[in-house]
Chains A and B, each alone.
Chain A
Amino acid sequence: MIDALAAEWLKLRTLRSTFVVLGVVGVVVALMALLAWYAVHLWEGLPPGRRDRLEVSSLPELANWLASLCLAVLGVLAFSGEYGTGMIRTTFTVLPSRGRVLAAKASVVAVVAFCTGLAAVLATYAAGRLIIGDRPIRGQSAEELSRQMPLFLALSLSIAMFALLGLCLAAITRSAVAAVAALVAVWYVLPIVVNNVPAPWNERIGSILPGALAGQLAGTGNPQSLGGALLSPLAALAVTVAWVAVPYTVAAVLLARRDA
């Protein structure tokens, strides 16, 4: 297993697309800084009495939302990049245990996604604090880092979950297009659809959607998003695990059974 892990880590490091994805995450953080600057600009331009009408989404959460799609794509590429070129056959001749290849890819992608996600969220937080300072703009938490850390960790965990979901979807569909389409459905379309389901089901289903889990994990709820917030942190953790475990199991079974 160590060999498979080291090999998958080497593979990820020697591929250009990895750095493209990480670069895009960097751009996302830069955009967040720009957004913070723009919010400050707007806020300063408003007469003091109307300033509390201005509300800006929580930047770390917005960064997380965008970064989760980027890293999900990284997860997708870990398999679809190999299926697209036929390289998967080289991989399975070098490492014949397909379960081990899946586990190695999943570990590497999860760690990279978690670390990148955490870095992006922290960088966004730091940039936001620097630029916004102590201006009380609504939506921007002025809480210190130690109080925010649970949420940031939960956000990073949800990025890792998205990345693994992408990886498994790519292993199942063997196609980048199909996997990314399925991801975007879960990431963007599903929340909108669920929001329009009659109550109380919109909130019930909304609570178990991937995008709603980080807030519930950290116990902060989802004040700004479409997602529901009915789950306890522990239940949210269980649902997060399920979002990975179910597709992972399907992927493992299919990989073992199908011809490469």
Chain B
Amino acid sequence: MIEVRELTKRFGRTVAVDGLTFHVKPGRVTGFLGPNGAGKTTTMRVILGLDHPASGEALVNGRRYDRIRHPMREVGALLDAGAVQGGRTPLGHLSWIARANRIGRDRVVSVIEQVGLAGAARKRIGGFSLGMRQRLGIAAALLGDPAVLLLDEPVNGLDPDGVRWIRELLRGLAAEGRTVLLSSHLMSEMELTADHLVIIGRGRLIADTPMRELTAVRDVLVRSSRAGDLATALAAAGGTVTAEDGGGLSVRGLDPKEIGDLAARHAIPLHEVTPRGASLEETYMRLTAELTGGGAGR
């Protein structure tokens, strides 16, 4: 459980986070979205006690991060995969982290295997690719078998196998009852991974909703050789019908079953009945449109 309350963080005159409040609950993957510079990384840094907020607070399992005795055993975080010293090996890097939080040596070996770095465990990190560094960062986050995970753009640089691996890993961890906060700019990936979304812009909360509601069924696309007759019948039955380019009808207010039954009663042939949800990308674009104003933002 992560609680962010009325959090404000300034850098000089930039307000990076502005009175932000949200909770990240256990048992689900919470996606953390927002345009570049929205304050996602800053929020995570405050949660981890790295940045001091101007006001408000961020609590992990009910207390401030810096009050946790062995934080890696409660919270696993990956903020910046580059934040390692190239002169060390994964074994060396994970060993000191494990030692600092009294985590057994066997965990070091097992997370290295889990993230697929077994073959590179004794090679210098300096020679690693971005994807390998991400894997090492994930290994460090998983090291203490924590109940809370914070990951800032963890799929950057991962190959398709790696992306799917992270997705399944995070979904599995959430299913075990853990709290997972995940930021990413990849909407399609987020749509597959997250159950809940927190969207921020310019440091303020824009949405805090289940994924289901953002991508709920919006309308049904219907095609027929007698589109005109069908439109009349659907409208009479209480549907809102709009003609689309290409001869399709967008129907709201009736579900596919009702549409099919109605067409059968009128003996109108149907060529297609497709329920359509908004994609996360579309909804996200709509929600953040005014912030980015179509430009590149900040």
Residues of A at under 8 Å CB distance from B?
Answer: 3-4, 6-8, 10-11, 14-17, 81-82, 85-90, 92-97, 257, 259-260
Contacts and interface: CB of A to CB of B under 8 A. Distances in A.
29 contacts: A3-B99, A3-B101, A3-B102, A6-B99, A8-B96, A14-B87, A14-B88, A85-B85, A86-B80, A86-B82, A86-B83, A87-B84, A88-B83, A89-B45, A89-B79, A90-B140, A92-B50, A93-B71, A93-B72, A93-B79, A94-B71, A94-B72, A94-B97, A96-B49, A96-B71, A259-B45, A259-B51, A259-B52, A260-B50
Contacts, number: 83
B65 interface: yes
A11 B96 CA distance: 6
Contacts of A17: 87
Given A7-B100, A14-B96, A93-B48, 7 more contacts: A85-B85, A86-B83, A93-B49, A93-B50, A96-B65, A97-B66, A260-B50
A15 B88 contact: yes
Contacts of B96: 7-8, 10-11, 14, 94
Given A14-B89, A14-B92, A86-B82, A95 B50 contact: no
Interface string B54-97: 00000000000110100110000101101111111100110111
Interface string B11-29: 0000000000000000000
A95 B82 CA distance: 19
A97 B49 CA distance: 10
Nearest to B52: A259
A96 B95 contact: no
Contact of A260 (B51, B82, B89): B51
Q: Which of B83, B96, B97 lies at the interface centre, i.e. has the most chain A CB atoms within 10 A of its CB?
A: B96
Contacts of A85: 82-86
Given A17-B87, A82-B85, A86-B80, A94 B100 contact: yes
Nearest to B81: A86
Nearest to B77: A93
Contacts of B66: 96-97
Contacts of B83: 85-90
Contacts of A92: 49-50
Given A3-B101, A10-B92, A81 B85 contact: yes
Contacts of B88: 14-15
Contacts of A90: 83-84, 97, 140
A96 B52 CA distance: 12
Interface string B153-167: 000000000000000
A148 to B, nearest CB: 37
Given A15-B88, A89-B80, A97-B66, A259 B100 contact: no
Nearest to A8: B96
B50 A7 contact: no
Contact of B99 (A10, A87, A88, A96): A10
Contacts of A8: 96
A14 B79 CA distance: 23
Contacts of A97: 66
A16 B99 contact: no
Contacts of B82: 85-86
Contacts of B48: 93
Contacts of A3: 99-102
A212 to B, nearest CB: 35
A92 B68 CA distance: 12
A8 B102 CA distance: 14
Given A3-B100, A10-B95, A15 B52 contact: no
B99 A7 contact: yes
Contacts of A89: 45, 50, 79-80, 83
A95 B48 CA distance: 11
A110 B231 CA distance: 84
B56 to A, nearest CB: 15
Interface in B253-271: none
A89 B95 CA distance: 17
Nearest to B68: A96
Contacts of B51: 259-260
B9 to A, nearest CB: 9
